[in-house]
Structure 1
Amino acid sequence: MTILESLREIQPEMTDWRRDIHKHPETAFEEERTSDKVAKLLESFGMEVHRGLAKTGVVGSLKAGTGNRAIGLRADMDALDLTELNQFDHKSVHDGKMHACGHDGHTAMLLGAACHLARTKDFDGTVHFIFQPAEENLAGGRVMVDEGLFERFPVEAVYGMHNWPGMAVGTFGVCEGPMMASADFFELVLTGRGGHGAYPHMSRDPVLAAAHVITAWQSIVSRNVDPMKAAVISATQIESGFTGNVIPETATIRGTTRTFDMGVQDMIEERMRKIATSVAEGFDMKASFDYQRRYCPTVNSPEETGHAIAAARAVVGDENVNDHITPHMGAEDFGWMLKARPGCYVFTGNGKDGLGGCEVHNPNYDFNDNALPVGAAYWVQLVQMQLPAAGA
């Protein structure tokens, strides 16, 4: 029996776990019920369970054989602040919260792998199963690293996985190097002098200044970034004013920037700040600029990418693994773990059309349960190949 066939035997259990988590979504650092469920399942598998990192994080440790090597496998647990529109039995019972990105499936897949490996122990070394909170918006992965994840649970490499709608179930996508972009978030507050709309010469108009700032910021990518490198600056919010005949006192601009290169990241922050303050000075007003680096680029290390490709091919065949997938400008806080340790992040197919084809962060999204044994089998295969049992 292949690993995939073996994992299909426990697909009903994984499906039950996944749908229960989907029905009870919890957002960043509030994953109390989810953490309890994960911890209890890991304990029932006979694992040593650790709790408390990043408040609701869970780490299950499993040792087999006599080897002293260790790797980490990570799944995210949190949901989104989004009202679900699905009508199936396992739809969210919490208004305004739903699993719209498949973290319920990621958790169930890693639990399935943990269950199988705890039962068979067909590897030599230690596997740390990392269940991480707050991937969405608040970078719980960074918090876990900052609170000592890899000091408490030393690993030679760490691996992550995300479902991907539009890719068929039973396929994988990965690439060496940058896989997903950084995600920085900014807020600029321009403070001028309010006044009557009929007498603009007696005011200092922050709306006009904001328009100039946004336009000037767009020149950074076209004139300061190497054309062979990717970058995005998106001003997504502008707030100002109360009525049509009053020039407001302040204008606030918010948005996000993305890039795969940390040098470009540094330059973008510096140029945005300089342009904002210079334009404000030119319009005789003040600028307060806040720039938060919430997610670093997710960069796959060469050797570990090779290991991930080999494991995926062993599960689904060479023809079902795209090892040169195009990197995505979306962000993933697993990048902070990859910054601390070598490793690899892969995509696994959630389905093309119909079941599993709906894009993530959509109120109609649902994880495709047919992908559960595929993802779990990948985890098991990766462990067996990285930590081979004696005589294997």
Structure 2
Amino acid sequence: MHDDLDSHIDIGAMTTWRRVIHRRPELGFEEFHTSALVANCLREWGYEVTTGLAGTGLVGTLIFGHGPRRLGLRAEMDALPIQETTGLPWASEVPGQMHGCGHDGHTAMLLGAAQTLARLRSAGTNWDGTLHVIFQPAEELGGSGGAQRMIDEGLFERFPCDAVFAMHNLPGAPAGHFYFREGPFMASSDRVLLTFSGCGGHGALPHLTTDPTVAAAATVMALQSIVARNVDPLASAVITVGRLQAGKTYNVIPETAELELSVRALTPGVRDLLEQRIRAVAEGQGQSFGLTCNVDYQRGYPVLVNSAPETQLALRVARSVFGTAHVTDGADPLCASEDFAYMLQQRPGCYLFIGNGDNGYARGQHCGPCSVHNPGFDFNDYNLGPGARFWVALARAFLLPNDKEPT
């Protein structure tokens, strides 16, 4: 099976697509060029293509036989508002925008798999069922991202899926190594704005004011007690104060001060607890300093939860194709977030990682492991082959008649 798959996979084409997309990054809901490239390829290979979901999203459908099984494979297409610093020949040509999370690679891997699957169907497989390749816009936009919008616009009603799968690169992990985990795998992500309102005045006369800056500063410290003293030590939770803003000059006590928080959890219960305690701490600190605190709590992506049967299927496929030495089960969860969680709330499935190696650059010099969302990040093209092979093998396992899986 492996040689047969490899003979149909076009590494050169995937590399070209990846670098074309990388040179022309597009932000969320603006992926017009990327979406057109994907749609044109899919149509050329015989897919039925539906465009316009969530604006720039699209779905390609390929039918094998007459079986009832329906599989969804998803990749995201959007870039980030970051100025690239890699200096690579295929670096972004759009000022202030870059593919700093590897979505160019994810799109190219799924596109290469789609091409291979079309070739295999033409060669006469005995597979039976329907494949939907889902190319999603705007994963990076938080709670207003593309996955929920595609769902709201009828994704799973128009393109029924019995299971859905997605893959993301993992910087610093060995390139081509696969990581799986049942249950919660990525955290929820909430954004909180705390606004302390007091009475401003002259910096030399603080007794005639109610200083919101002091209340905000005290709250920064008080918030740290929530994870330390309210959350079970065996659970995961993060409260990060990413922004503290108050006043514009040194000798004026301002009317207001703001804190902006990033809040993460790996279970819905801890997520609810964090909101309750953040509200109580912030409002209580405001009252203790004689002023008010308005809490604007914005819930973003939910916890990403992999279903057990689908994760075990994907794990078996990876081990069959790549060997157990290149596959990790029970990988550690991450406190980053991902809007594929919305799709997993609607359908069973699995989100997995593929190691990205040490592919990172700074001012044109190789600098070792580089995090996503970094101006020196680059997707590792080595992963294009393993990523596409995995998708093709998973489709084969899922769409084999009579639920026969490869051994």
Q: What TM-score do the two structures reach when normalised by structure 1? A: 0.96
Confirm or deny that 1:127 pairs with 2:136: no
Measure the CA separation in 2 of the matches of 1:282 and 1:171. Answer: 52
Segments of 5+ residues of structure 1 without an aligned counterpart are none
Alpha-carbon distance, 1:282 to partner: 2.5
Measure the CA separation in 1 of the matches of 2:370 and 2:260. Answer: 28
Confirm or deny that 1:363 pairs with 2:375: yes
Q: Pairwise mapping of residues 271-350 of structure 1 onto structure 2 (< 5 A)?
A: 271-350=277-356
Measure the CA separation in 2 of the matches of 1:168 and 1:282. Answer: 51
Deviations 1:233-262 (CA, angstroms, capped at 9, x unpaired):
111101111111110000010020111001
Compared with structure 1, are the counterparts of its residues 349 and 147 closer, same or farther at alpha carbon in structure 2 (3 Å cutoff)? same
Partner of 1:238: 244
What's the secondary structure of 1:304's corresponding residue?
Answer: helix
Partner of 1:376: 388
Code of the residue aligned with 1:350 in structure 2: it is N
Q: Indicate the larger mover: 19-28 or 9-18.
A: 9-18
Measure the CA separation in 1 of the matches of 2:133 and 2:307. Answer: 20
Partner of 2:19: 19
Deviations 1:279-324 (CA, angstroms, capped at 9, x unpaired):
2223222222111111111111111110110111122111110012
In the alignment, is the contact (CA less than 8 A) between 2:359 and 2:380 conserved in 1? no
Partner of 2:171: 165
Confirm or deny that 1:137 pairs with 2:141: yes
In the alignment, is the contact (CA less than 8 A) between 1:177 and 1:300 conserved in 2? yes
Measure the CA separation in 2 of the matches of 1:284 and 1:93. Answer: 52
Partner of 2:209: 203
Partner of 2:185: 179
Give the 4+ runs in structure 1 shifted more than 6 A.
353-356
Code of the residue aligned with 1:379 in structure 2: it is W
What's the secondary structure of 1:167's corresponding residue?
Answer: coil
What's the secondary structure of 1:73's corresponding residue?
Answer: strand
Q: Indicate the larger mover: 21-30 or 290-299.
A: 290-299
In the alignment, is the contact (CA less than 8 A) between 1:62 and 1:118 conserved in 2? yes
Deviations 1:140-191 (CA, angstroms, capped at 9, x unpaired):
2122222221121111111010011222223101111111111111111111
What's the secondary structure of 2:384's corresponding residue?
Answer: helix
Q: Indicate the larger mover: 279-288 or 299-308.
A: 279-288
Partner of 1:63: 63
Partner of 1:6: 7
Alpha-carbon distance, 1:391 to partner: 10
Code of the residue aligned with 1:375 in structure 2: it is G
Compared with structure 1, are the counterparts of its residues 247 and 151 closer, same or farther at alpha carbon in structure 2 (3 Å cutoff)? same
Code of the residue aligned with 2:167 in structure 1: it is M
In the alignment, is the contact (CA less than 8 A) between 1:170 and 1:316 conserved in 2? no
Alpha-carbon distance, 1:266 to partner: 1.0
In the alignment, is the contact (CA less than 8 A) between 1:79 and 1:103 conserved in 2? yes
Partner of 2:276: 270
In the alignment, is the contact (CA less than 8 A) between 2:57 and 2:136 conserved in 1? yes
Measure the CA separation in 1 of the matches of 2:252 and 2:185. Answer: 47
Partner of 1:385: 397
Query: RMSD of the alignment, in Å?
Result: 1.7
Partner of 2:363: none
Code of the residue aligned with 1:187 in structure 2: it is L
What's the secondary structure of 2:67's corresponding residue?
Answer: coil
Segments of 5+ residues of structure 2 without an aligned counterpart are 361-365
In the alignment, is the contact (CA less than 8 A) between 1:4 and 1:374 conserved in 2? no
Measure the CA separation in 2 of the matches of 1:315 and 1:204. Answer: 66
Alpha-carbon distance, 1:353 to partner: 6.4
Compared with structure 1, are the counterparts of its residues 178 and 215 closer, same or farther at alpha carbon in structure 2 (3 Å cutoff)? same
Alpha-carbon distance, 1:35 to partner: 0.8
